[in-house]
Amino acid sequence: MEDQPSATFDPAGRRWLILLFILFAFTLIPFRPLEMIRDSVYWAGLVETLDPRIWHPHHLIYMPINALLLEFLRIFYADSTAIDAGQVHSAFWMLIAVLCTRAIALKATGSHPIAFLLAGLLLTSQMAWVFAMQPQAYAPLMGALSLLLWTLFSTRPDEYSTAWMIKIAALYAITVLYHQAMVLICFPLGYYLYSTKGKNGLRAALMVLFTSGAVVLSLYIWAASHVQENLSLQSFINYLTFFGQVMADPKYFNFQNYSWANSWVLLQSQFNAFQPLFIDTSKAHY
């Protein structure tokens, strides 16, 4: 039986891919938000001035990549801004997320229309528009995580090699470097590798986690030394936990917030992200 991913490149697959690219171009790229959230504006200012704080520990590589993209964009258009760079960065990864969603759905169902529909629903949801057009790390995180999931999903259970291990470790490291909280998925990732790789399961899990962990830790140590004047164990721990210190508000991170009502509000917010986009033209200026 042929591997399902090959169907992506048959004539029918190419037609659906072209249609998906057209949908992406006509729904995402031409539109810009009229307003920016606080973090987007603040981060854009850091990128414009190359402030050392672009090495934000919660999203370590996001702003540095925006800074590189900004310099690249200015080669072609001198008036490019950090907002432009952030939008290009996020739109690229959102496209990756959409394509991976289609690929996973195609392998799972074998149906091009169903795969296109699921990818189109993601693309035209509020989540894609809000996060991909705001200079935020969440669209790149979605793209990197989707790419990791697709790579795992499309791998044969008995496939294991040094090159494969490095690829999985690199993809996992990228997700952690885009969002610090992704360290938490090391447990399900390690268990998945252990349970699916047979006699190489333990070795695969340990090699992927230790390799990605070494890369992430090394970059965090370098970033902490770059941002802080004097690096010590305590200052490094403070750097790693910076986000928790910023959010050290008595209203956050306490068990009093856990209730059925608050859980329902959180669940609704997740569903709202996947609602179809609605464009309000009542306030448009012509």
- CB of 157 closer than 8 Å to CB of 198: yes
Element (H, E) at 180: none
111-142 residue pLDDT tens = 888 888 888 888 777 777 677 777 788 889 98
Query: In which residue are the tokens 């009093």 written?
Result: 256
For residue 28, the model assigns a pLDDT of: 55
Of 138, 89, 227, nearest in space to 81 by CA: 89
Q: What is the DSSP string of 241-254?
A: THHHHHT--TTSSS
The answer to whether 129 touches 28, Cβ cutoff 8 Å, is yes
Buried b (16+ CB within 10 A) or exposed e, 64-80: bbbbebbeebeeeeeeb
pLDDT for 7: 46
What integer pLDDT is reported at residue 21 of this predicted model? 65
Which pTM was predicted?
0.80
Amino acid symbol at 65: I
Instruction: Give percent of the chain with pLDDT exceeding 70.
Output: 75
Round to whole Å and give the CA distance between 258 and 253.
Answer: 9
83 Cβ contact partners less than 8 Å away, ≥ 6 residues apart: 36, 40, 44, 135
| Rg over CA atoms, the chain | 21
Q: Measured over all CA atoms, what is the biggest interatomic distance in the chain, rounded to whole angstroms?
A: 66
Q: Is 96 helix (H, G, I), strand (E, B) or coil?
A: helix
Q: pLDDT digits over 199-218, tens only?
A: 888 888 999 999 999 999 99
- Both tokens of 199, joined, read 């006699």
> Is the pLDDT at 234 greater than 90, yes or no?
no
Which tens digits make up the pLDDT trace of 51-103? Answer: 888 998 889 999 999 999 999 999 988 888 898 888 889 888 988 888 898 88
Element spanning 28, H or E: none
Indicate if the alpha-carbon torsion angle 154, 108, 185, 219 is positive or negative. positive
